[in-house]
Chain A
Amino acid sequence: QQQVKQSPQSLIVQKGGISIINCAYENTAFDYFPWYQQFPGKGPALLIAIRPDVSEKKEGRFTISFNKSAKQFSLHIMDSQPGDSATYFCAAKGNRDDKIIFGKGTRLHILP
């Protein structure tokens, strides 16, 4: 059973456009929702994270929108750049342990 569902699997966006990646979860015990960015040959790196007591968090060009009632959250990348081309993972962590549950990832390609 996949606890964090991520879509789309791949995404192509023009330079300067907005990239949007969506995730949904089932477990209401999740209380921390990070997004990771992974480049080929590298480990995942924390990009931005949110807790369910806020509906939006913005850091630079990256914004997380969180809908607690729908159990959905999304990553928006504004003014997407070719350097943003990578695989993005949404994730969730419960309030009882430190296990991070990852989505299957979205391969983002920004056209120059």
Chain B
Amino acid sequence: ETGVTQSPTHLIKTRGQQVTLRCSSQSGHNTVSWYQQALGQGPQFIFQYYREEENGRGNFPPRFSGLQFPNYSSELNVNALELDDSALYLCASSLGGPGPGSTDTQYFGPGTRLTVL
């Protein structure tokens, strides 16, 4: 086990609703990244937080937002859900700070399976 937990395990929402997914990183891990994994695809980078500040973002619209808290927990919020948002959402924590040349291992949680109807 990686020590990274996510909740809930599964979630069903309808189009247009809002959702909050939660992640608890390993203690001491200052960096958390969120990924979206569609069925049969590799994970796609949504954004990364380092010490409670957003540190990088992938090609996702602003309705995807996040928060990171001092207690090593974090949230992914998605507004105005669309059918294509149905996916496995993964968070990954790493020990050090981000930056060029960083090869800190990212430890993934088991994910939250979101279904949008």
List chain A positions with a Cβ less than 8 A from chain B. Answer: 6, 31-32, 41-46, 49, 51, 89, 91, 93, 95-105
Contact = CB atoms under 8 A, between A and B. Distances in A.
Contacts, number: 63
Given A46-B107, A98-B99, A100-B45, 18 more contacts: A6-B42, A32-B103, A43-B2, A43-B110, A44-B90, A45-B108, A46-B105, A49-B103, A51-B103, A89-B42, A89-B43, A95-B100, A97-B48, A97-B100, A98-B33, A99-B56, A100-B33, A102-B44
Contacts of A105: 40-42
Which 7 A-B pairs give the minimum distances between C-beta atoms? A43-B108, A102-B42, A98-B98, A99-B45, A95-B100, A97-B56, A44-B108
Interface of B: 2, 4, 31, 33, 40-45, 48, 55-56, 58, 90, 92, 94, 98-103, 105-111
B42 A45 contact: no
